[in-house]
A and B are shown apart, each in its own frame.
Chain A
Amino acid sequence: MAMDSILRVDMSDLSVRKEPLPAKWAKYAGRALTDAVVFDEVPPNADPLGPDNKLVVAPGLFGGTTAPNGGRISFGAKSPLTGGIKESNAGGQMSHALARAGIAALIVQGAPAVKGALYVLKLDESGNGSLMRADELAGLGNYDTAAALLAKAGDEKIVTITNGPAGEKLLKASGIAVSDVKGLPNRFAGRGGLGAVMGSKGLKAVVAPLGRGGLEHADKDAFNVAVKKFATALKAHPVSGQGLPTYGTNVLVNVINEAGGFPTRNFSDGRFDLVEGISGETMHEIGEARGADMGHGCHTGCVIRCSRYYNDVDGNYVTKGPEYESAWSLGANCGIGDMDAVAQLDRACSDLGLDTMEMGCALAVYMEAGKLEFGDSDGALAALKSIGSGTGDGPLLGSGTEAVGRAFGVSRIPVVKHQALAAYDPRPIQGIGVTYATSTQGADHTAGYSITANVLGVGGTVDPLKSEGQAALSQGLQIATAMLDSFGLCIFVAFPVLDIPEAFQAIYEMASAHTGVPWDTDMLMKLGRETLTMERLYNEGAGFTAADDRLPQFFLDEKLPPHDAVFTVSDAELDSVHDFVAATAADMGISVPKLA
C-alpha cells in the first residue's frame, strides 16, 4: 500500500470518490498538501462556511510508517476565524489510519442539500468510503459521539474524527477532535475554527479502521536504519528524552513565569501570583497521587511520549493534559490558579469542541470587560456551558477573543489576524512576537517556536528582551516547522533536531528511503519555503497586507511587569521574515490565486 489516493467527499450529492493523487500534488503531504489543495481549489474570497470551502485532512509523509513521532495529521481549509489559509495540526491515530488505507488526503467539499442533516463518513481498509445519515448524533459532545461510534464498531479497532456542538453551531472558536491511542477524542486540530467548516459540511464524524502497518518503502532496510538513528537522537536529548516524557508540556509554566513572560489576567502581567496551583510540577504530583496515566504517546510510534491524562480525586479520567497552553489560557490568563478547575474547563472545551487557547483568551477579555471576575472558575465553566446551550453570551464567546473584545469595547485584545495569542507574552520574549505577527496562521506559537533560543537555550541563544536577531530566528523556525508539519513530524522533535546533527540527517534519510527520492537539507528547506509561499500568496488573495503582520498596538505601548518590556522589533524587520516568498513563487511558477 502507498499513500497515493485522494478521497473526495462531496456533501452536495453525498458522493464519495477515490481518485489517484494528481502528479502536481505528489511531492506534498501533510501541511504542504492541505495547502496545495486549498490553494488550487478554494478561491481566496470564498465564504469559509459556504460550499466552496473545502476541509482537507492529510497525514504527513511519514503517516502509517514507523518513523518516530511521524504520525501527526494536518487539517486545512480557509479559516472562518482568520479569513486566511489554515493548517491545524493534531496528534491521535488518524494519520496512521488514513495512510494505511492509502489516502494522501481526504477532501470534504460542497454542502448538504438538506439543512441540518448530519453525516458520518465511514472508511474501509482499502480507502473507500461512504456517508451515513447520523442525525441522532446532533448536539452530542465529542466524548459521547466517539463513545457511540466505538460502541457501533464493536470489536473493530477504529479511529475517529469528531465535531462537537461548537462546530455544529458554526462557531469560530471551534476545533476538531481526533481520537488517541485509547479511542478518546482528546487530540485537537484546535485552531482557526475548523470545527465550523466541518459543521458547515454537515459532517459530524469520520470513522476509519486503524489498519495495520505495511506501507511500502522504496528501501526498507535504509528506512529502518534511519528510524533507529532518529529514535536514538530523540531519546538522547534531555528535553525529548527526559523532560517532556516526565512532566509533559506543562512543565513550562514555571519556566515562562520565571522568565517574566507568562501572560496573566489578559496580558496585564508577566508573572502569575497563583502559579504554583497550575504548574507542571503540581500537575505531576496530583497525577501521581491519583494514579493518572502519565507519559504516553498520542499516536503509535511516538517515542517522546509527552501526553498524559488528568484524573479527579476519585481517580477517574477528566481530560487529557491539560497541556501548557491550556493550563495557561484557562488558568493564569483568567486568573485561575487551581488545577482541578482548569481541568474542568479543559474538559468542557474538549467536549464542546472549542479551542482552549481561543477560549481562554476570550474568557479573559470577557473578565476584563467586567462580565466575570478574574479567577471565577465557576463563572468561567458556566460561560463555556452557555456556548453549548446557545444561551446568554454563549454564541458571542464561541465566536472568539476578538468578537468578545469588540462587543464590550475592550482595548486590550490579544489577537493577530483575528486569532488569539499563545502562552508567551511577546514583550519580554520578542522572538515569539515576530512569529505571532508574521505567521500565515494568525497568532500561532507553533508556527515558529522562538522560545527555543529565546528562553530554553536550544538551537543557540538570542536575548529575548532585545529585537536583534529575532526576525532571522523566527524565519528559520517558520520554514523548518512548515517542513516538519508536511512530514507529519511532531514539532517537539525540533529540540533534538536543533541540537543534534544526526537527528536532522535522519529526517532526510528516512524521507529518501521511504520515497526513493533523494532528499537532502536543501530540499527540506525548499519544502518549507514552498509551503509558506503557498500560504502567503493565498492570504494575499484573501486581502491580507503588511498591516496584518503586526501585533496589537498595546504590546508596543504598555510596559509589561516585571521587566517593563515593550515589543521593539521594527516593521521593517517584521516585513523581512517573508523575503523569500517572491523568489520561491517564481521558482514554483505560481502567483496569487484567482478570486471566484
Chain B
Amino acid sequence: MRIELALYASLQGYLPEGPPGSSGKRSRIVELPDTITVGELAARLKLPDQPRISFMDGRAVTDHVALHDGTRLAIFPPVAGG
C-alpha cells in the first residue's frame, strides 16, 4: 500500500527516500507492505526508542494501530509549547 509519511522536528532526518508529499520536504509518499502498524513502521525507520506523538489523518494513534492505504501518518518526537 501507499501512504504519506511526515516526520517532524528531530525526526526529520529519518524520512526515507521517495516523492514529496503534501508537506513539502517534511513528508514523502512511501510504499509499504499491506499489513503494518505504526510501531512496526517506526522500527523500520529506526526512529529513536522514545515516546512519540503520532497522528493518522489528524487523529492521535498509538503504535499498535494498523496503517491503511491512502492514509497520512505524521510522527513527532515528544515536544510541547504553549
Contacts and interface: CB of A to CB of B under 8 A. Distances in A.
Contacts of A445: 82
Nearest to A327: B81
A255 B76 CA distance: 7
Contact of B80 (A259, A464, A492, A563): A492
Interface residues of A, number: 43
Contacts of B8: 251, 254-255, 281
B60 A242 contact: no
A468 interface: no
B9 interface: yes
A70 interface: no
B37 interface: no
Q: Which applies to chain A's interface (DSSP): helix, strand, loop or mixed?
A: helix
A239 B26 contact: no
Given A238-B50, A455-B53, A252 B74 contact: no
Interface residues of B, number: 23
Contacts of A255: 8, 53, 76, 79
Given A255-B53, A281-B12, A457-B60, A446 B82 contact: yes
Given A251-B9, A562-B58, A456 B53 contact: yes
Interface in A455-503: 455-458, 461, 464-465, 491-492, 495
A563 B58 CA distance: 8
Nearest to A251: B79
B82 A449 contact: yes
Interface in B12-41: 12, 23-24, 26
B71 interface: no
A297 B59 CA distance: 33
Contacts of A263: none
Nearest to B25: A276
A251 B53 CA distance: 13
A246 B10 contact: yes
A244 interface: yes
Contacts, number: 97
Contact of A491 (B60, B76, B82): B82
A405 interface: no
Contacts of B9: 243, 246-247, 251, 254, 280-281
B78 interface: yes
A337 interface: no
Contacts of B50: 238
Interface string B42-82: 00000000110101001110000000000000101111111
A259 B76 contact: no
Interface in A230-251: 237-239, 242-244, 246-251
Contact of B51 (A238, A244, A250, A562): A238
B13 to A, nearest CB: 12
A445 B77 CA distance: 22
A455 B81 CA distance: 12
Interface of B: 6, 8-10, 12, 23-24, 26, 50-51, 53, 55, 58-60, 74, 76-82
10 A-B pairs with the lowest CB-CB distances in the bound complex, closest first: A249-B81, A243-B79, A252-B81, A238-B78, A260-B58, A324-B81, A258-B74, A251-B79, A239-B80, A258-B55
Given A258-B76, A495-B80, 5 more contacts: A238-B77, A239-B79, A248-B81, A258-B58, A324-B81
12 contacts: A237-B78, A238-B78, A243-B77, A252-B82, A254-B8, A255-B76, A255-B79, A280-B9, A281-B9, A306-B81, A464-B60, A492-B80
Interface of A: 237-239, 242-244, 246-252, 254-255, 258-260, 276, 280-281, 306, 323-325, 428, 445-446, 449, 451-452, 455-458, 461, 464-465, 491-492, 495, 562-563
